[in-house]
Structure 1
Amino acid sequence: MKTAYLESAKKQFEYYKSVGEKTFDQLSETDFFWQYNQESNSIAIIVNHLWGNMRSRWTDFLNSDGEKQWRNRDMEFEPVIQSKEELFQKWNEGWVCLFDALDMINEDNFDTKIYIRNQEHSILEAINRQLAHYAYHTGQIAYIGRMILGSKWKSLTIPKGKSDEFNNAKFARGKHKGHFSDEH
């Protein structure tokens, strides 16, 4: 059960990472820095925040509080990323930190108590907390990308107005087993 949960969580993290990357693939460099208004976050700011959060939460995951003293959360919401290359470097560094930490979890340490801001969590609770947080922000990234691109946006799942076509093709391929998955 524990290892099945970990594999499921890894797949979900990989899925949300891919949502961000499929969005990035559609954007020009200037798009990463576009803001709806001065109060909103650009994709670069969201990536910077995810990077800071991932490094803080997943560095020394099993032994120290997920809110590290060296983290400067307020600076994560400033326009510090200056290039597409820096954005990709931070994006990848954050995800590597997360996946490396998840790979360290096993049957022997699964019951370790995890602390985030001095609040106790089970490993399952800590993973779920971050999974929801990262899904929230990758959704923002995709939404910003869609706002920027308008009609040039390429759907990341089933395109609008194409559900019947997708479902008919799926049934024709015999890929149904009484339920639908979110794998498109």
Structure 2
Amino acid sequence: MTAVAELYLRDVRERMAEIRHLGDRALSQLGDGDWHRYLADGGNSAAVLVQHLSGNMHARWGGLRGGYRPDHEGEPASRDRDAEFEEGRLSPAELQACWDEGWAVFEGALEHLTPEDLTRTLTIRGEPHTVLSAIQRQVAHYSGHVYQLVLIVKTLRGDQWQTLSIPRGESVAYTAEVQAAQAAISDPHDQR
């Protein structure tokens, strides 16, 4: 069981680093005036999503940066969740810092969790969860919001958008490149 838990923690750390990197690359394409733009009335801007993600990361994981604590509450009374959805409060530089700080908290907590922690209990809004369940809940939550960010930025950038994945029409070339790299790893003496 420990080997599976170690594999899970390693995988979730890697996957969430990829999700963060995806968000980093999308946010890097925003102009200063784009952070607070939204696509439809009642929608969220990139700024609001950044504020909310950071607030959630601090609330859920801030107390676990040094490792598991049995008394951790993932929704502290000090959190003002509604303020995270207020528009126009922060500059682009402040939002970038907010983004970086939130991810540092989440990644720091993940780094300190052990395989044994995954079956331990923590609470969110007074509701008990295993640490594993809380991580899975946040993986879905954070990924969803990062993909919202990607959609917002892609829509705002229009034809100036720089793709974050395999460009259209280049799937075959990409696959061939990946396969060639894997073959070189498998046979380092291959002189192709």
Q: Report the TM-score, using the length of structure 2 for normalisation.
A: 0.85
- In the alignment, what sits opposite 1:8? 11
- In the alignment, what sits opposite 1:182? none
- In the alignment, what sits opposite 1:129? 137
| Residues 1:176 and 1:42: Cα distance change in structure 2 (over 3 Å) | farther
| Residues 1:107 and 1:135: Cα distance change in structure 2 (over 3 Å) | closer
Stretches of structure 1 that go unaligned for 5 or more consecutive residues are 178-184
Counterpart check, 1:82 vs 2:85: no
Larger radius of gyration: 2
Q: Once the 2 structures are TM-superposed, how far is the Cα of residue 82 of structure 1 from its aligned partner?
A: 2.4
SS of residue in 1 equivalent to 2:128: strand
| Residues 1:132 and 1:162: Cα distance change in structure 2 (over 3 Å) | same
Deviations 1:15-73 (A, max 9, x none): 11101110122221111111123311100000000011111100224332211111111
Question: Structure 1 CA distance, aligned partners of 2:35 and 2:88?
Answer: 12
Stretches of structure 2 that go unaligned for 5 or more consecutive residues are 186-192
- In the alignment, what sits opposite 1:58? 61
RMSD: 1.9
| Mapping for residues 115-126 of structure 1, pairs under 5 Å | 115-126=123-134
Contact kept, 8 Å, 1:55 with 1:97, in 2: the verdict is yes
Q: Once the 2 structures are TM-superposed, how far is the Cα of residue 175 of structure 1 from its aligned partner?
A: 5.3
Between 34-43 and 129-138, the greater mean CA deviation after superposition: 34-43
| Residues 1:107 and 1:82: Cα distance change in structure 2 (over 3 Å) | closer
Counterpart check, 1:143 vs 2:151: yes
Contact kept, 8 Å, 2:9 with 2:115, in 1: the verdict is no
Question: Structure 1 CA distance, aligned partners of 2:12 and 2:62?
Answer: 18
Counterpart check, 1:98 vs 2:92: no
> Aligned letter for 1:92?
D
| Residues 1:106 and 1:172: Cα distance change in structure 2 (over 3 Å) | closer
Contact kept, 8 Å, 1:48 with 1:81, in 2: the verdict is no
Counterpart check, 1:32 vs 2:35: yes
Q: Report the TM-score, using the length of structure 1 for normalisation.
A: 0.88
Between 7-16 and 33-42, the greater mean CA deviation after superposition: 33-42
Higher helix share: 2
Percent identity between matched residues is 32
